[in-house]
């Protein structure tokens, strides 16, 4: 058995995303044997950098693997490489490993806590041979030209809002797919919510590992969700809480809250690839007039009083939001969703019924057929950009709320329309904050200067033999 992790850094990226490609290969005589695993991580590969998302250049090999497998269309990562890698290796959000702030520089004496058991270490206990290979850009030159500008120009070009190291969709929406003969359903787009922390339990479960032994992880085993398009257990994603930068963001169902110092105001805009036709209109004439198009939804949610809710009722509300989001994703109208939702709401919260035109019982709701994915329409459609898109959200002053299902490019801040949703998401952020450990960042150690080690970047700290035996052998 082998588990091969490959890591490539690309210099022609359009965003800050990380491409997660999982390839499972069965080479055993027994179907009960665990599969070989190839996990390809492409750092700084943007949403628009694969042609199945509409890239200006072809990526035929990636496309073939993706289209013959399962495309993860609602997959999220951290806004930078170090936190994402830590999340993949541990199955934990960076706030639980101390990696929530920035990246680890070459001479900073800290890293993933040695108390953490990584995915590779778990696989080794199951008999896997694990290897990591890759390419890291370490070119330092003095050519009297700022070559990095061209790289950065590519990194910030994306249909989504924001760039690398921001919590906007342009910094956290990832590209991912799974290719394997083990998939029960193939060649489809999976819209279930997924985060990088889910790889740990998903891969370990495939390897026949005991998931009950995983200690306080944040990830979910998503294999049935990926392989069979089964409903995911994941209803929310914590994008990050950074107490140093003082920003935070969370997604529940279709709603995303974001506030704080996102990028010092430097990278909060839109930087579409060259040739992109941006539609704009006065905000009053915007095609996405949220208040008008979602009147029933707003009226229902606004009728709830979250201050009087118990924690169980708040959780039920999150389940309801998740239900609405999944029904809308299956091409149902809001009226259809509200009709089908009535029995569920009555059981959970005794919600008012005056906004529904008719009543469908549970049997009718359960037998309503889901719309199948008829085409791979994966190109981002931002719609018309209101003239106030860059000013209606000021996250340093107040939380912003976006309906990223209907407004994927974060044009319309709807916090004033849905204060109850803002409060629900804020409460969840406070819950996560209560479990957070401090960032582990430490100052750069001058002893790590390559000039002290023959001009070579390399290890410069000694650890005891006992620590080495316990954590590295």
List C-alpha distances in Å: 278 to 163, 266, 294, 380, 393.
18, 21, 24, 12, 20
Pair (391, 295) in one structural domain: yes
Confidence of residue 288 (pLDDT cuts 50, 70, 90): very low
CA 402 to centroid of chain Cα atoms: 16
Pair (98, 224) in one structural domain: yes
Cβ–Cβ under 8 Å, residues 417 and 298: yes
Q: Which residues of 349-384 are buried (b: 16+ CB within 10 A; e: fewer)?
A: eebeeebbeeebeeeeeeeeeeeebeebeeebebbb
pLDDT for res 291 = 55
Pair (290, 392) in one structural domain: yes
Tokens 């430490």, located at residue: 442
d(CA 177, CA 71): 4
Pair (175, 314) in one structural domain: no
Pair (297, 161) in one structural domain: no
**How large is the C-alpha radius of gyration of the chain?**
23
pLDDT higher than threshold 90 for residue 235: yes
Pair (225, 286) in one structural domain: no
How many structural domains does the chain have? 2
pLDDT for res 301 = 60
Residue 441 lies in a domain: no
**Domain boundary residue among 179, 200, 234?**
234
Tokens 């002053």, located at residue: 397
Q: How many residues does the chain have?
A: 473
pLDDT for res 132 = 87
Q: Are strands 70-72 and 280-281 parallel, antiparallel or unpaired?
A: unpaired
**Domain boundary residue among 200, 217, 234?**
234
Q: Which domain holds residue 98?
A: 2-234
d(CA 80, CA 167): 10
Lowest mean pLDDT among 135-144, 211-220, 349-358, 415-424: 349-358
Mean pLDDT for all residues in the chain: 78
d(CA 175, CA 321): 25
CATH number of the domain at 101, please: 3.40.720.10
Residue 459 lies in a domain: no
CA 83 to centroid of chain Cα atoms: 12
Residue 55 lies in a domain: yes
In tens, the pLDDT along 304-320 reads 656 666 666 666 667 76
Residue 362 lies in a domain: yes
Residue 102 lies in a domain: yes
d(CA 360, CA 250): 33
Residue 28 lies in a domain: yes
**What is the DSSP secondary structure assignment for residue 69, as one 8-state letter?**
S
Q: Is 423 exposed, middle or buried (0-12, 13-18, 19+ CB in 10 A)?
A: middle
List C-alpha distances in Å: 443 to 85, 94, 95, 446, 458.
21, 19, 19, 9, 17
Pair (208, 341) in one structural domain: no
311 or 172, higher pLDDT: 172
pLDDT for res 459 = 83
**Domain boundary residue among 175, 207, 234?**
234
Residue 167 lies in a domain: yes
Pair (388, 297) in one structural domain: yes
Both tokens assigned to 447: 């002893």
Confidence of residue 366 (pLDDT cuts 50, 70, 90): very low
Helix (H), strand (E) at residue 291: helix 290-293
Cβ–Cβ under 8 Å, residues 19 and 66: no
Pair (72, 221) in one structural domain: yes
Pair (157, 25) in one structural domain: yes
Pair (222, 316) in one structural domain: no
In tens, the pLDDT along 412-469 reads 999 999 999 999 999 999 999 999 999 999 999 999 899 998 998 888 887 776 665 5
Pair (226, 303) in one structural domain: no
Coil, strand, or helix at residue 280?
strand
Residue 336 lies in a domain: yes
| pTM of the complete model | 0.78
């Amino acid at each position: 058995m082998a588990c091969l992790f490959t890591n490539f850094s690309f210099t022609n990226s359009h965003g800050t995303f990380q491409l997660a490609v999982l390839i499972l290969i069965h080479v055993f005589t027994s179907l009960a044997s665990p599969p070989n695993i190839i996990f390809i991580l492409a750092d700084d590969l943007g949403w628009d950098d694969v042609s199945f998302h509409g890239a200006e250049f072809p990526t035929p090999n990636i496309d073939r693997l993706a289209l013959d497998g399962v495309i993860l269309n609602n997959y999220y990562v951290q806004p930078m490489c170090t936190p994402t890698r830590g999340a993949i290796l541990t199955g934990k959000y960076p706030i639980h490993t101390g990696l929530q702030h920035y990246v680890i520089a070459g001479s900073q004496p800290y890293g993933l806590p040695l108390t953490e058991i990584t995915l590779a270490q778990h696989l080794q206990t199951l008999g896997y041979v694990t290897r990591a290979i890759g390419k890291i850009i370490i070119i330092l030159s003095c050519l009297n030209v700022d070559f990095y500008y061209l790289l950065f120009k590519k990194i910030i070009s994306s249909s989504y809002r924001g760039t690398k190291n921001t919590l906007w969709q342009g910094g956290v929406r990832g590209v991912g797919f799974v290719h394997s003969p083990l998939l029960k359903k193939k060649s489809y787009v999976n819209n279930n919510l997924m985060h990088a922390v889910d790889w740990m339990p998903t891969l370990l479960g495939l390897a026949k590992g005991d998931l009950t032994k995983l200690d306080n992880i944040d990830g979910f085993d998503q294999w049935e969700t990926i392989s069979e398009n089964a409903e995911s257990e994941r209803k929310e994603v914590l994008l990050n809480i950074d107490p140093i930068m003082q920003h935070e963001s969370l997604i529940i169902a279709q709603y995303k809250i974001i506030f704080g110092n996102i990028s010092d105001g430097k990278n909060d805009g839109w930087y579409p690839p060259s040739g992109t036709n941006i539609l704009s209109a006065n905000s009053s004439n915007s095609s996405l007039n949220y208040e008008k198009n979602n009147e029933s939804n707003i009226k229902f949610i606004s009728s709830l009083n979250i201050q009087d809710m118990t924690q169980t009722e708040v959780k039920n509300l999150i389940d309801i939001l998740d239900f609405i989001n999944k029904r809308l994703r299956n091409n149902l109208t809001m009226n259809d969703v509200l009709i089908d939702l009535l029995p569920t709401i009555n059981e959970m919260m005794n919600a008012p019924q005056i906004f529904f035109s008719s009543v469908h019982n549970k049997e009718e709701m359960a037998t309503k057929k889901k719309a199948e994915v008829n085409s791979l329409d994966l190109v981002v459609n931002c719609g018309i950009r209101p003239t106030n898109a860059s000013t209606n959200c000021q996250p340093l002053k107040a939380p912003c709320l976006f309906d990223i299902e209907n407004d994927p490019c974060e044009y319309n801040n709807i916090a004033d329309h849905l204060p109850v949703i803002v409060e629900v998401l804020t409460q969840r952020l406070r819950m996560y904050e209560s479990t957070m450990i401090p960032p582990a960042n430490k100052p750069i150690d001058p002893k790590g200067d390559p000039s002290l080690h023959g001009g070579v970047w390399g290890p410069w700290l000694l650890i005891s033999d006992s620590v080495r035996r316990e954590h590295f052998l």
